[in-house]
Amino acid sequence: MLGIPTRGLVVAVIAVSAGLVAGCGGSSSAPPATSTDTSNVGSEPGTKFDTADVPGLGTVLVDAQSRTVYVLTSDAKKNVPCTDESGCTDVWPDLPLPDGTSAATAGMGVDASLLGTMKDGDETYPTYNGYLLYEYTTDTGPGVANGQGVKSFGGTWYVLDASGNPVTSGSGASY
């Protein structure tokens, strides 16, 4: 029976020691390696939109977490439906406004007059130039646009430029 408390004590001492060592790191006066604006990180994705430079695509619309946003469109339809029922939103999460929020905020580079909303049932979704907005699950963070040009769920996914137009350059895969 003594082995169990002793082992627990050893684990606790190791954990506390690791925390102390981690806290003793040196400081650096060098600026961060990235210039990505992270002031929005932690906000609900659909509450604010900014623009950011995404390699290979230029300046595009990003959400409150600085993640690239996409629209699903086809030649015949501006907003191709992306629904929970079809499994589309499992891959391309929508960006509903949180309860009590009536509109998204325009951040840097965003034309506030192009921001709007669309209601579907009990949910309200932000739009930009009339397009419903989505994230892509394989985008690992800010500055990534793996969904650009992907053909799936009845249309093609594109990022939007600051004027609210789909950026049709760049290509992706079909799923």
Looking at per-residue pLDDT, the higher value among 121 and 149 belongs to 149
pLDDT per residue as tens digits for the range 14-31: 333 333 333 333 333 333
Residue appearing with tokens 């669309």: 118
Does the pLDDT at position 92 exceed 70? yes
Query: Given phi > 0 = left and psi -120 to 50 = alpha, else beta, which region is 153?
Result: left
Does the pLDDT at position 141 exceed 70? yes
- The DSSP secondary structure of 37-92, one letter per residue, reads --TTTTS-GGGEEEEEEETTTEEEEE-TTS-B-EEEE-SS-SS----TTTTHHHHS
Q: What six digits make up the tokens of 110?
A: 């965003």
Over residues 95-114, mean pLDDT: 95
> Please, what is the average pLDDT of the chain?
80
Q: What percent of the chain has pLDDT over 90?
A: 68
| Residues sharing a CB contact under 8 Å with residue 42, sequence separation 6 or more, in sequence order | 65
pLDDT at 169: 82
Q: What percent of the chain has pLDDT over 70?
A: 73
Say how many Å lie between the first and final Cα of the chain, rounded.
57
Q: What six digits make up the tokens of 37?
A: 């604006």
| Residues sharing a CB contact under 8 Å with residue 175, sequence separation 6 or more, in sequence order | 91, 150, 151, 152
